[in-house]
Amino acid sequence: MNDAGEKGNAAGTGRIVKKLVLPVQGMTCASCVLRVERALQAVEGVDSAAVNLASQKATVDVVGDTDLAALEKAVRSAGYGVTLPRSDASTEDGRTHETIAPAGFDAEARALRRDLLLAVALALPVMLLSMLPMLPGVRASWPLGMAETNALLLVLTTPVLLFPGRRFYAGALTMLRHGTADMNTLVAVGTGAAYAYSTVAVLFPQWLGLEPGHMEVYFDTAATIITLILLGRWLEARAKGRATDAIRKLIGLQPRTARVIRNGEEMEVPTGDVRRGDRVLVRPGDRIPVDGTVIAGASSVDESMISGEPLPVEKGVGDSAVGGTVNQEGSLTLEATAVGADTVLGHIVRMVDEAQGSKAPVQKLVDRIASVFVPVVILLAVLTFIVWMLLPGVTFTTAMLHFIAVLIIACPCALGLATPAAIMVGVGVGADLGILIKDAESLERAKTVDTVVLDKTGTVTEGRPSVAAIVPHGEMTQEQVLTLAASAETPSEHPLGTAVLREARARGLSLRTPDSFQYEPGAGVTAFIDGDAVQVGNAALLESYAVKLPGEETLQPLRAAGNTLLHVAVNGRLAGTLALADRVRARSSEAVATLRRHGIDVIMLTGDTEDAARDMARRAGIEKVIAGVRPADKAEELRRLQDSGRCVAMVGDGINDAPALARADVSIAMGSGTDIAMETADITLMHSDLFGVVDAMALSRRTLGKIRQNLFWAFIYNVTGIPLAALGLLSPMVAAAAMAFSSVSVVSNSLLLRRFRAASSR
């Protein structure tokens, strides 16, 4: 994925920051990550840079028109390759868009598999030729002398280093030119030392004080180490590829081709060639290729991949359609409104891709260790060699083997993969469950949440209220009160206003268009209709206009039923009251009970009246309620909770609750993922189900648990492995096998997260 668009203002300075996700080639260990980060952060205009070893990507926040060529030069000067963003299609207005590009490790896995097969084919004869002459039953009948056998081993081993092993030596030389070292350095020095010693022993034995035909050569050590490490790297690449399955599934939702009408002719073109404004034909059974507006036809569309709802949604002229969803019955003609990376599906793919490539705060410890790890290991290996050489009776070859074992066992691959591998899998599992996680920091922070604050409308409730009762307070009839209220709410997009409009249209009432309209957040609306001033809203709104409200004996029965009351006034006089009822979402009470069982306090925060809020909270199983709070004041309520020492997650719709979501330690947006919440919330729930909150918290705990396990074993592996190798208790080949499979074990342990099951499905 490429340019992710505007991120916001850098450090509150007003500078526009853009996020770039750049694939980086050639990284092999944690020290590589740190080197690329430092190179990128040194480029003028880079606000921050984070590099992920598991995803092989760098996420860079750049200010303004930062020179992309400078980013490429910085990465290449550090010794690595990079792929810069490039657009592959243009719109008619000159702007560019990107198609959704696949992610994965197929190319890397294929290259490693090719090198591995070649290494096995070349190393197997070396291993057999090294062992067979040592066997008692074979030694006497062996047709070659040891000098000839050793020369043959030299000939057979050299191609192993030159061809499948070239990646390690080329990488080590690149690092050497930059005055640094990485995993390639350790492998190259270790295997190179074994090969160089053995070559000298074969060609110039007198230099080492050896007799021609001696048996102390270690060609098999060099060939086997390279083969085992390639095996581990190949298995690791395959495992990392499985960790990106979520991206593959999402990309698979976009059809490869689309039918468009251009110049009066229908043609089939690649989806990436569709432009904004194109007319796109969608036949029954087809996936919709782009986001668009229906301009002809009618059908039902399966939007479960976006909303999680199994029932199809009816579509007609003027309705919007989302790319990747499935048209079921009739044919549709759409006008393309968003293509490529600008579609909802493109946004989702980008979010998952960026989150998988982001860095968790826990990674900071690994980064500090990685900055000194390889140089310290080389120093320890040299000290090991010196100490063994100083011991009486120890030969040069023995000291050299221990030197090689220390280098090989200490490769920091597992350490570098411990955190990002778990993050990649955790984010992918979340995407499969309809939980879009913004970044690794959000995932880590969710584990510490001890208080969940729920907005009422659209979160605890379905957000689709209906008119339950109309109570006139003057000479008007119910229909007249409803007509007046619905006319005033015509421009409104608030769920309560929409419910009033829906009821008026269902009754076939004739509505008027307001001359002016003003929405007052958390209170209601004021409109002028044919010269009359009309207010529709709560008691606070009408009291601010000095409108006298009805007696409590009139309103109490309506409140007791859990209704939300909207009062209607015209020219300063009360005309009537509308009672609107909203239903608690299915399973909301179960989700709340589950959160409380996990020790999480649940609070409902709403602008509704105390009575209506408490009735709704009671039905949802929520004991704590903060009612009568305007949207602008919700953030202050969260601040009070945070000041009392709580870690707060706010769950809302991502728009009306924007201040509170911004204030929360973790912001969770409920909805279909089609609005701005996808960009602003820490976590977006694609499914309108509170169990998504339960699953997000549980997934955070499980992922952080895997990270701790991975880090524990990676540290233990090095803490125990290096001393064992230094003491001569590990041969170089055993060290190579252990090193190779340590990385595989970390990624495989992370893949166990794929067994995570949603709480609602257990």
Catalytic residue annotation? 455
Sign of CA dihedral 342, 343, 349, 352: positive
User: Can you tell me the distance from the alpha carbon of 106 to that of 240, in angstroms, rounded to the nearest whole number?
Assistant: 10
214 touches 207 (CB < 8 A) = no
- Distance, CA of 7 to CA of 28 (rounded, Å): 29
Residue 446: closest CA among 456, 434, 433, 437:
437
Burial 29-58 (b: 16+ CB within 10 A, else e): bbbbbbbbbebbeebebbbebbbbbbbbbb
Is residue 315 within 8 A of residue 288, CB to CB? The reply is no
Structural tokens at position 324 = 């990747």
| Cβ atoms < 10 Å from Cβ of 129 | 18
CB 503 within 8 A of CB 467: yes
762/757 Cα distance (integer angstroms): 7
Question: Does residue 627 contact residue 613 with C-beta atoms inside 8 Å?
Answer: yes
For residues 31 and 394, the answer to whether their CB atoms sit within 8 Å is no
C-alpha dihedral sign at 207, 209, 215, 220: negative
Amino acid code (one letter) for 81: G
DSSP per residue, 364-418:
HHHHHHHHHHHHHHHHHHHHHHHHHHHSTT--HHHHHHHHHHHHHHT-THHHHHH
CA distance 615 to 308: 28
Burial of 232 (0-12, 13-18, 19+ CB in 10 A): buried
Convert 535-551 to b/e letters by CB count within 10 Å (16 or more is b). Answer: bbbbbebbeeeebebee
DSSP character for 463?
S
Give bridge partners of residue 67 from the DSSP assignment. none
Q: Looking at beta carbons, which pairs linking 390-399 to residues 24 or more positions away fall under 8 Å?
A: 396/208, 397/197, 397/216, 397/218, 398/728
* Cα dihedral: 161, 165, 170, 172 (round 10): -90
Q: Which two tokens stand for residue 511?
A: 């509505």
Q: Locate 560 and state its tokens.
A: 């007791």
Give one DSSP letter per residue of 206-258, joined into a string: GGGT--TT-S---HHHHHHHHHHHHHHHHHHHHHHHHHTHHHHHHHHTS-SEE
Q: Nearest to residue 497, comparing CAs of 550, 564, 431?
A: 564
- CA dihedral sign, ordered 172, 174, 177, 183: negative
Q: Pick from 73, 66, 71, 72: which is nearest to 16 by CA?
A: 66
- CB contact at 8 A, 516 and 544: no
Residue whose entry in the numeric block shows the structure tokens 């059974």 = 285
Inter-residue contact 291 to 348 (CB < 8 Å):
no
Most distant pair of Cα atoms in the chain: their distance:
120
| CA–CA separation, 484 and 473 (whole Å) | 14
Which residue reads 């039953």 in tokens?
137
